[in-house]
């Protein structure tokens, strides 16, 4: 049974039914045991319109909660060089979203909503044969990143999240202010 919603989980900017099991301890779980009901949200239908593929996505994707202080990422099937500086979770066969324990327990529900759908975009991209860790292009111009951020920004707007909040969401610690502006412009372009 899901935890009762916290006040920020009843925010007008979240879809009804979005829940987070914030008390999970480090370990690997089915995605729907960490985010109950996620596959039934309208955002999930927009992410994967085919009901069979959507059911498989939510039945087969895992979440690994780790004690390290981090956000979320899709666990690679083998360790890309960019992650060798940190202890990366590698899951050779399954699709798995890695999330830091404190991020899951303490971050606002809206951020977790945007993050999990951003990472699910990456899961779908990888399933389609796309390279998620392409180091030949910068993070803010990498097509998979732009596409995933564009999806969650559009979803945020559908839910009434103001642009300043969405713009702040894109201010990740590993990019510069100029790169942030470049990413904001890229996600607001129409087309690829």
pLDDT tens, residue order, the chain (192 aa) = 444 444 455 466 788 899 999 999 999 999 999 999 999 999 999 999 999 999 999 999 999 999 988 889 988 876 655 554 456 665 556 898 999 999 999 999 999 999 999 999 999 999 999 988 787 888 888 999 999 999 999 999 999 999 999 999 988 887 788 888 888 998 888 655
Question: Do 50 and 124 contact (CB within 8 A), yes or no?
Answer: no
Q: What are 21-26's contacts with CB under 8 Å, separation 24+?
A: 22/104, 22/105, 23/105, 24/63, 24/65, 24/101, 24/104, 25/65, 25/101, 26/65, 26/66, 26/67, 26/101
CB half-sphere exposure, 57, CA atoms < 13 A: 27
CA dist list (Å): 175 to 25, 95, 97, 138, 139: 30, 26, 21, 10, 8
The verdict on pTM exceeding 0.85 is yes
Q: Which of 1, 30, 183, 11 is nearest to 107 (CA)?
A: 11
């Amino acid at each position: 049974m899901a935890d009762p919603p916290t006040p920020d989980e009843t925010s007008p900017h979240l879809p009804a039914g979005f829940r987070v099991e914030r008390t999970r301890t480090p370990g690997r779980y089915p995605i729907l045991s960490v985010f109950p009901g996620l596959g039934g949200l309208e955002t999930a239908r927009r992410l994967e319109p085919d009901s069979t593929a959507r059911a498989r996505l939510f039945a087969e994707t895992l979440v690994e909660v780790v004690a390290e202080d981090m956000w979320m990422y899709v666990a690679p099937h083998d360790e890309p060089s960019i992650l060798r500086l940190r202890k990366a979770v590698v899951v050779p066969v399954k699709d798995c979203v890695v999330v830091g324990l404190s991020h899951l327990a303490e971050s606002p529900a809206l951020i977790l909503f945007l993050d999990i759908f951003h990472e699910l975009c990456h899961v779908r991209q990888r399933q389609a044969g796309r390279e998620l860790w392409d180091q030949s292009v910068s993070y803010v111009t990498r097509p998979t990143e732009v596409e995933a951020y564009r999806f969650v920004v559009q979803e945020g707007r559908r839910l009434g999240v103001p642009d300043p909040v969405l713009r702040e969401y894109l201010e990740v610690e590993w990019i510069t202010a100029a790169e942030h502006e470049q990413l904001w412009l890229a996600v607001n372009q129409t087309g690829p």
